[in-house]
Amino acid sequence: MAMKRLTQQQTAALISEMEQAAIGNNWAAWHEANVGKPARIEFPMGELTNPDIAGFVCAWNMQGLVRIVSIEKGDGFVAQGMESKVTVETGLTTALLAYRELPEYRRLLWV
């Protein structure tokens, strides 16, 4: 299934929806509806050492989900030229939670 790259605004809207569900005591229903939806998060390889996503990185690594690929011109990352990027295929809930913890110009989300 082909995925679509979301804009920062589209991703921010999804994160806001997720946060509102948590605040409004609807987290279980929101999570159940979205955890299985496929998503891909991408970020420069240097972020693997970001302590804010260390738990995600550990879990993804144990599941064999971390893939290292070349950064493409259209990614728009603020990254060094020699840096590669990480792609992780996961569920939407997990992707959104990790995305929130990464610097603004060092993250992409695909759904």
Residue 101 belongs to some domain of the structure: yes
pLDDT at 3: 95
Closest CA to 35 of 78, 96, 86, 87: 96
Side-by-side strand order, sheet with 84-91: 66-70, 84-91, 38-44, 108-110
The answer to whether residue 1 is domain-embedded is no
Per-residue model confidence as pLDDT tens digits over 30-79: 989 988 899 999 999 999 999 999 999 999 999 999 999 998 888 888 77
Q: Domain residues for 12?
A: 8-110
Using pLDDT thresholds of 50, 70 and 90, give the confidence band for residue 1: low
- pLDDT of amino acid 79: 72
Please indicate, yes or no, if residue 86 is contained in any of the structural domains: yes
Q: For the chain, how many structural domains are there in total? A: 1
Structure confidence at residue 25 as a pLDDT band (50, 70, 90)? confident
